[in-house]
Structure 1
Amino acid sequence: MSQTDAEVFAAHRKRLFSIAYRMLGVRADAEDIVQDAWLRWHGSDRTGVLSVEAWLVTVTTRLAIDRLRALKAEREAYSGFWLPEPIVEMDEHTPESQAEMASDLSMAFMWVLERLSPEERAAFLMRQVFDYEYAEVAEMLGKSEAACRQMVSRASERVQQEKVRFEVRREDHRNILQRFVAAAHSGQQDAIRAFISDDMQFVGDGGGKVPSYPYIVRDPDMIAELYAKFSKSGKTRYELVLLNGQPGLLRYIGSKLESIQCLETDGERITGFYVIRNPDKLAKLASSSGAVR
């Protein structure tokens, strides 16, 4: 291995991880894809390679598509709703919380991406998120430009139907969650309900291991009652963290992490609850991020 190889790859590693994670929704899987891309880069004959970035992005995207095809079958057999595994950070100043952690990495956005086929997801991300030209996307996917345009158009329609419509500053998002936590600790259902939008949804991921709603909850009163019940136990506490670069919550029951909660807001009230309770996912996130303590 030459140092030049390593330095060239390292210069693109952040983007490759960003692509792989948005494709797969699991940090460990994304890291595996990036490692596979490195092995192919290191062992390849690069004679005639005009753009290192294009070569690496193409390899990473195709590896991610193949991996997602395999994962789709697993996720279809999953008990209940499968939610992506967010990247948990305790420190807002770590590199991952900077530019690559944008609104297009929110749990609401990642949740919508799960409705797309692997190739649709890749085409949409390459064009709409990473801003590659259609000719470049076609080259990456081995498709015609016309086919890529059709895939992106179809994916965009699906995403626009459900994508979060509000851009909220991180400070405002954090403030809403802090006030919501204070209301939750009070145990007063009306106080909690005041922070929940009428037009909301709650998606829970228990993985069949712990109780979770088997449907998307759209009743804000039901969710307010749920949070009030948790607080009345006297053993519940919340910790504010970053989840995919956005403020979110860890909920503990006593000393045990009970859930990871990605809460979307319009700047005034909470519009979306994406709650991961599957203990297997909680353990994986703790070991991979080192953030959950």
Structure 2
Amino acid sequence: MDEREWLAQRFEADRPRLRAVAYRMLGSLNESEDAVQEAWLRLQRSDAGEVENLSGWLTTVVARVCLDMLRTRTSRREQPLDGRIPDPVVDATDGIDPEHEALLADAVGLALLVVLDTLAPVERLAFVLHDMFAVPFDEIAPLVDRTPAAARQLASRARRRVRGTEPLPETDLPRQRAVVDAFLAAARGGDFDALISLLAPDIVLRVDSGAVPVGTSREIHGSAAVAGQALTFARHASASASVPVLVNGAAGVLSLVDGKPRSLLSFTVRDGQVTRIDILADQARIARLDLASFIADRPES
């Protein structure tokens, strides 16, 4: 086996972990693939024989590439904090695709990725690498041009933001699905009181419609406002159908209109109530998702 073949095999073995790092850093599936590919190109140009810990080296390369991408994104203001829902990972209700397992380890739901988007790039890097991938601070410090102690403080600030914003969601999928199904039934039946009972008082509904030029996001707060919005949508969605799916490992719904994907809903459930609904309705991004199998598998009504 020559060196290039050996490197390729080693890189492929690390690819799932590298994609997971990039997805947590960027919240974008396409950009994550770009970051991982850039790490492969840099590996080919390097003297790999001088690298003692190749997996660690690749992780830091991907993190550095992602940090540069985040800084560019911020400086160009291409994605305002309230303007985008991160890319969802969609699976069938009978289980997560093996290729998605590393991406979704540690319960990386859309709600968590939305919070990560509010962090400064260096805070996000420190938190992701240390708290999610156990990278020591003395290895993180050079990436953010800080001392190890300062890198630790970056991760600590990020950790407080994450913990203070999003309480741990329900992890029991059947219980999640029961709540989501009850929510959909109440919306279709026009039962406002039932909706109120299923929604947390401080629920947040976020809709990313992807309007030109930078995308728009609408947030609605409070159970009464969200229930009203759900009833309004249900009244105008007589031609729609709902397909149960998993969105980042949690109960979700793919909404179809005339048999075509129109929106993707992700639900965060805690203590038997919906605490957050994230709706991706950007038609360009919906079209890029691999959703054909969910539509093909839908039973005829």
TM > 0.5 fold call: yes
Task: State the one-letter code of the partner of 1:130.
Answer: F
Q: Which residue matches 1:249?
A: 253
Distance in 2 (CA, whole Å) between partners of 1:195 and 1:103 is 26
Tell me which residue corresponds to 2:68.
66
Residue 270 of structure 1 corresponds to 274
Unaligned 5+ residue runs, structure 1? Answer: none
CA distance in 1, matches of 2:146, 2:63: 13
Match of 2:203 in 1: 200
Residue 217 of structure 1 corresponds to which residue in structure 2? 220
Structure-2 separation of matches of 1:178 and 1:75: 38
1:15 equivalent in structure 2: 17
Paired residue for 1:27?
29
Distance 1:101 1:77, change over 3 A: closer
Paired letter, 2:261: L
Aligned residues: 290
Q: Find the counterpart in structure 1 of residue 265 from structure 2.
A: 261
Query: How do 1:76-225 and structure 2 match up within 5 A?
Result: 76=78, 81-90=83-92, 92-98=95-101, 100-208=103-211, 215-225=218-228
Per-residue CA deviation, residues 37-87 of structure 1 (Å, 9 max, x unaligned), is 111112311232110111100110000111111222455565962111111
Q: Scaled by the length of structure 2, what TM-score is found?
A: 0.87
Q: Describe the superposition over 1:157-214 as per-residue Cα deviations: whole angstroms up to 9, x where unpaired.
A: 22222023334222322222222222233232222232111121111111225xx986
Higher relative contact order, structure no. (Cα contacts within 8 Å, ≥ 6 residues apart): 1
2: CA distance, partners of 1:96 / 1:173: 23
Give 1:45's match in structure 2, choosing from 41, 44, 47. 47
Aligned letter for 1:266?
A: R
Q: TM-score, normalised by structure 1?
A: 0.89
SS of the residue corresponding to residue 85 of structure 1 reads coil
> 1:104 deviation in Å?
4.1
Deviations, residues 17-39 of structure 1 (Å, cap 9, x unaligned): 00101111110110111111111
Quote the offset at 1:281 in angstroms. 1.7
Q: 1:54 to 1:102 in 2, by over 3 A?
A: closer
Over 3 Å counting, the alpha-carbon distance change for 1:102 and 1:193 in structure 2 is: farther
Secondary structure of the equivalent of 1:120? helix
